[in-house]
Structure 1
């Protein structure tokens, strides 16, 4: 796919929408601050009502003190231009929104006064009044969905092994809370996930009448499926999830689940599609391959089931996500792949009424824009989108299509799509954004030494003067299956990093998504060196292409996989004056043995750590320590940071990194955040982190 071209019409539409904050008088603007980044209101994904008349979404009003932070639901008419209004007034926040079929009621999950865990609440949007709590389960409830007739709710909750019902669950929870000893015991992998130690709770599907005091029924209780040792769902912050929906006649629940979770340490996981009668009974497996299926949706007439799917090709590190469909009821378990000819990963899709078209977005070269395809898998076409930025969510109700759009200089707002030019529906952040002196990222491509075309973005600082010379800070994205997007970023905000007077370079090295399956798989067997070489080549190209870049003042840094590459650059070159590494891997073998994900690392390196494969040693940064004496690495001053609760890239990597630097007498500083995980998510910690990054760069890029 060639780089996208921005049409004059699209640019005019964007200007008419007021989408680009830099259009105002630059002389009246100021440089971005951490307060600007942190205190921008955080606009959540809108959920359109079935009749297409309303959209409801969460808005978080952030604060540095989490006790002062608020999050509420807002509602916006899709039929007129009346401003959005607040629907709830609760500090704790609400999520997992779902409309009743008649568009009059809304259910959501919240943890309010008296709730130890998240519970399902219902609010009468049409009639008004306070939200009512519908569940009081010991282990909470999540992912609620109204039945097609609006009389029942489907949701996900958990149970303990051996528990026969809620009374047993309550009893076991009480016993565990009161027991004298304290231990975690495991017989399957992984024992922990991101920042949480996992436990033995088992995920289940429940159905209940949509009424206060109704008793939930465990649909999978006593089934052979739930008894399988590998049964489970995707792991998230709130526990495992089962992607479940109602059939259009309300007689069945269709869901995707894994049956090989117990093989996570030695095999790729995959999720299959199942169904179970809404009245209960044994679940039926509907697909019988080793692909993964998720994001299930039925067509309006109930005759077609759609999903996203990944092929989970054996021995490969990455599979693009494609849109699949099945005639319902499923007779042939082989899916029809609608986007088979599109070598891009579909991020999300919706099914607006009328037209028999699937509307979706996919990653490409820093952008997320709208496209559509017909139900037969033909007539792929672009839909009206803004020429820059990224679509971060989509929801369809009736013929209405809403979502969140953002760019690096436009914090997220709710937009209407699908009926001509995109239309901004909210203005929570536009005034604050308009006061900031910032420019949209500039895109450029170059041909790497291996022949691949590499996409990059350049971000310029406030008060930019092309006649001046600026230090370059190459910021490396994580993943590696990820890409830099033209979007407003909280954790590594491009403009805040550039604010002291740096040009920020954002490179999508091989292994990145958004450029096709082969490009993302190209790091297999070459986890650090190849991508690191391309980052270096991107820096060379930026120095050559832009006269305002000072090639004698270079720095590099990143987090997660970006931290891995930052460590690799520090170990293998002395071209940079400073390095910043957050959550960075130092030793491939240690990372394999202590992280919450191991099999994919084996696939990427060609085999297990005991297989005498050279990559485990040759591409571990710590094993390049001999470069110090050669003068080819381990010389650059490095700022190392880590969250103590990070179980994805555990803190032992940072400790090894710091020990290595100190052993070699390299200027180095270690920051350990005791209450942070893989990311720095607390306001004051974030402000301190940015100040340390700025201070480190200033010290060595004078």
Structure 2
């Protein structure tokens, strides 16, 4: 295999302005020349990563965020750009050594507000006139100005010791933590602080520290680990704040996904939960069992929104607030719907019921009669629209994934982010058509064109096959770069995580299909049982059946490829995956009937009994396994789940395996990966363990990312080439 590398100078990503060149810490856009047309880990990390974007009030300009990374410096840097809404006159506005993020238009588009070093700043639209607006002692994680710009919401971390006790004053250097309940750590951190929204006045002298609108409440807003300013919204008259919170702590938090939308009136300082009635009392919950059939998810109680409700947005006419809503408590992968709440009548309407898949983002039309939303169907995420009566129409089409959508402020066009397996995120202008799939789509950023122009990518194909139970399943085929149809290639079965995450047209900086293609591999990526985009029945068949039909689906896909794709070498197959995909690899290692020559599992569950009590979000194990492993009355699904845990089939392992894990992964603890590796070695099976003490469920640091890719392909090459 051609192990092409990038010139040594590429490792230190070049600066892109005179000011930047004067500061050695600045990391900007790279202008590198590749030694080969094949993607490498270094080339992947040289790409700019487009983030948030916002159109100016007049719709003529767009500001957006881009992240750049330096492998040599082992860090990243966020900058802000501005351009005309047609993509012309693109200019970087920020060139300081510190990252500048979360840019929004203020003062009728005359100024831009942004975050830098935990404070809010403003600048002119040409980047001049920088002025610090806050001097907050705590530091600010996010912000949102009111429409009249008299107020601003500040998101700040407050100390929280409801579960982890404070250190004794006379033992300031102790590293011990006294823990009194569950949810003492979450994702990758110990929970000793929580975010709260503060309401601050905007004056000519700047912005003060504000008042905590949830003062005295031991609850998060936004909700960790991923929530941000999108979980709060201002009413059009600037008098009301809608916010998202799960008002539970400890074990009650750990077993529940019940997150609600609250309205806070800034004049009366009163808060109302608009998901539930004022006298709502949650039904009693058995904390060691799935909530599927418990009273909290009864047909009657579903009227009270016991599921995951997030990301409120007020309609422009001020009559409604809409949000993303999951129906059931305890099910983090329930179908996401659009809920529209009438502020005058209190009526809730679900406007995407005819779309049997997830809604992932949305925005209101200028006339408040239409909502545009992103939805996944058959492995592609496109833009749809619905009216208040629930009449849904698909606007865009194609093999791609849209990641965000908002009105362009001219009331006619949409600003959207889009990516695919062959292109990282770029910004687009979408003009909805009057008929199905007739939207006009125009690309307006070309952040990584200078790199794409130097690379040869593998082509993407789509194929359908029959499953063992006679159903139709779609899988993606990613062909090697410089594909020769007369040759046979080593082939990888890609096992998706989630377990309910779609195998869509995603672009990843780790699980990247094009870098696999560049290394000479065919990739088979099945949309197996349990994935959204093929109807709710298909999506829900995996819960309580992790080792049944979904595993048969994996094998159906790879067997079909071996039989019908002449370029697939059935004697050189590998299986790879992360999270549930890592679990899948550990399970297949004991059940593959010698199909595969090697395996790679990243952050996978290995011992499900251990996983049940190890994971910090207990709702996940409860829903997916049905029961705690000690329950004597456990369901048949639970018995089957624990009986088929991968660790119970190590005696059948006979194939080399690479285990990867992050020690700050509190979702699936590192003991799972270490246990799998140790078991393989004790069985005498060739194995390696790549352990990251400083990474969570993902791999975020540049040099760790490069090591991940090198280790990944070195292992595959060793056994498949």
Shift in Å, 1:354: 4.0
Q: Distance in 2 between matches of 1:475 and 1:306?
A: 36
Tell me, yes or no, if the aligned pair for 2:561 and 2:568 is still in contact at 8 Å. yes
Gap change, CA 1:248 and 1:86, over 3 Å in 2: same
Separation in 2, partners of 1:109, 1:188: 35
Deviation at 1:445, TM superposition (A): 1.4
Match of 1:236 in 2: 225
Deviation of 1:84 after TM superposition, in Å, equals: 1.4
Task: Give the SS at the match of 1:45.
Answer: strand
1:181 to partner: Cα distance = 3.1
The within-5 A match list for 1:162-241 is 179-201=172-194, 203-209=196-202, 211-220=204-213, 226-227=216-217, 233-236=222-225
**Is residue 644 from structure 1 mapped to residue 663 from structure 2 by the alignment?**
yes
Which residue of structure 2 lines up, in the alignment, with residue 121 of structure 1?
Answer: 121
Match of 1:299 among 294, 308, 315: 315
1:581 to 601, 616, 621: 601
Question: CA offsets, 1:122-164, max 9 Å, x none?
Answer: 22327x524322233333223311112122212222333699x
What does residue 113 of structure 2 align with?
A: 107
Q: Which residue of 1 aligns with 2:297?
A: none
> d(CA) in 2 for partners of 1:153 and 1:337?
30
User: Aligned pair 1:394/2:405, yes or no?
Assistant: yes
Query: What's 1:465 paired with?
Result: 484
C-alpha offsets along residues 534-578 of structure 1, whole Å, 9 cap, x if unaligned?
111110011122111111221101111111101111122232100
Q: Return closer, same or farther for 1:230/1:255 CA change in 2, 3 Å cut-off.
A: closer
Alpha-carbon separation, structure 2, partners of 1:208 and 1:662: 62
* Displacement of 1:392: 1.5
Q: Deviation of residue 205 (structure 1)? A: 3.2
Checking the alignment, whether the CA contact within 8 Å between 2:136 and 2:208 is kept in structure 1 is: no
Q: 2:155 & 2:591 partners in 1: Cα distance?
A: 49
Give 2:327's aligned residue: 311
Q: CA deviation at 1:460?
A: 0.8
Residue 141 of structure 1 corresponds to 140
Question: SS state of the match for residue 609, structure 1?
Answer: coil
> 1:335: which partner in 2?
348
Secondary structure (helix, strand or coil) at the match of 1:236 reads coil
SS in 2 for 1:402: strand
| CA displacement at 1:254 relative to structure 2 | 1.8
Contact 1:443/1:457 (<8 A) preserved: yes
Cα gap change, 1:679 to 1:190, in 2 (>3 Å): same
Give the length in aligned residue pairs.
Answer: 643
Is the 8 Å Cα contact of residues 502 and 532 (structure 2) preserved in structure 1?
yes
Contact 1:305-1:328 within 8 A present in 2 as well: yes
Alignment partner of 1:87 is 2:93: yes
1:513 Cα deviation (Å)? Answer: 2.0
Cα displacement (A) at 1:285? 2.0
Equivalent in the alignment of 2:644: 619
Report if aligned partners of 1:323, 1:338 keep a CA contact under 8 Å in 2: yes
8 Å contact from structure 1 (residues 60, 69) kept in 2: yes
1:413 counterpart = 2:413: no
Instruction: Confirm or deny: 8 A CA contact 1:528 1:564 kept in the other structure.
Output: no
Residue 17 of structure 1: aligned partner: none
CA contact (8 A) 1:96 1:142 kept: no
User: 2:339, 2:350 within 8 Å by CA — same for their partners in 1?
Assistant: yes
**What is the DSSP-based 3-state SS (H/G/I as helix, E as strand, rest coil) of the residue aligned with 1:687?**
helix
| CA-CA distance at 1:182 after TM superposition | 3.3
Contact 2:458 2:518 in 1 (8 A): no
Matched with 1:34 is 41
Distance 1:650 1:176 in 2: 32
Q: Give ranges in structure 2 of 5+ residues lacking alignment.
A: 1-34, 277-303, 433-438
Measured on the aligned residues, the alpha-carbon RMSD in Å equals 2.7
Aligned equivalent of 2:619: 599
Give 1:272-287 correspondences, 5 Å limit: 272-279=260-267, 281-287=269-275
Q: Which SS does the other structure have where 1:458 is aligned?
A: strand
Q: Does 1:502 align with 2:521?
A: yes
Q: TM-score, normalised by structure 2?
A: 0.84
For the 8 Å contact 1:160–1:200, the answer to whether it is kept is: yes
Q: Which residue of 2 aligns with 1:367?
A: 380
Matching residue within 690, 702, 712 for 1:671 = 690
Match of 2:712 in 1: 693
Sort the Cα spacing of 1:597 and 1:292 in 2 relative to 1 into closer, same or farther, 3 A: closer
SS in 2 for 1:611: coil
Distance, in Å, in 2 between the alignment partners of 1:594 and 1:59 is 36
| Contact 2:75/2:701 (<8 A) preserved | no
Matched residues in 2 for 1:266 and 1:297: separation? 27
In the alignment, the residues of structure 2 paired with residue 370 and residue 177 of structure 1 have an alpha-carbon distance, to the nearest angstrom, of: 58
Distance 1:264 1:123, change over 3 A: farther
- Could you tell me which residue of structure 2 aligns to residue 325 of structure 1? 340
Partner of 1:248: 236
3-state secondary structure, aligned to 2:610: helix
Deviation per CA, 1:10-66, whole angstroms, max 9, x where unpaired?
xxxxxxxxxxxxxxxxxx982222222121111113112232222111112221034
Question: Could you tell me how far 1:461 is from its partner in structure 2?
Answer: 0.8
Q: Report how far residue 174 of structure 1 moved.
A: 13
- 1: CA distance, partners of 2:323 / 2:194: 27
Cα gap change, 1:624/1:90 in structure 2, threshold over 3 Å: closer, same or farther? same
Equivalent-residue separation in structure 1 for 2:539 and 2:267 (angstroms)? 44
In 1, Cα distance between equivalents of 2:176 and 2:313: 41
Counterparts of 2:213 and 2:449, CA distance in 1: 48
Distance 1:567 1:421, change over 3 A: same
The answer as to 2:62 corresponding to 1:62 is no
Deviations 1:639-684 (Å, cap 9, x if unpaired)? Answer: 1111122211111011111121122111111111222221222222
> Could you give the per-residue CA deviations for residues 416-444 of structure 1, whole angstroms, max 9, x where no partner exists?
11255211111221131132111331111
The C-alpha deviation readout for 1:290-313, integer Å capped at 9, x for no partner, is: 133222111111111111111125
Kindly indicate whether the alpha-carbon contact (under 8 Å) linking 1:38 and 1:62 is maintained by their aligned counterparts in 2. yes
- Structure 1 window deviating more from structure 2 (198-207 vs 102-111): it is 198-207
User: What is the CA deviation profile of residues 358-399 of structure 1, one whole-angstrom value per residue up to 9, with x for unaligned ones?
Assistant: 111111222111111123322x212145x2211122222322
Partner Cα separation in structure 2 for residue 701 and residue 55 of structure 1: 47
Q: Is the 8 A contact 2:597 2:720 kept in 1?
A: yes
The alpha-carbon deviation at position 67 of structure 1 amounts to: 5.7
- Are the aligned partners of 1:157 and 1:205 in contact in 2 as well (CA < 8 Å)? yes
Indicate the residue corresponding to 2:7 in structure 1. none
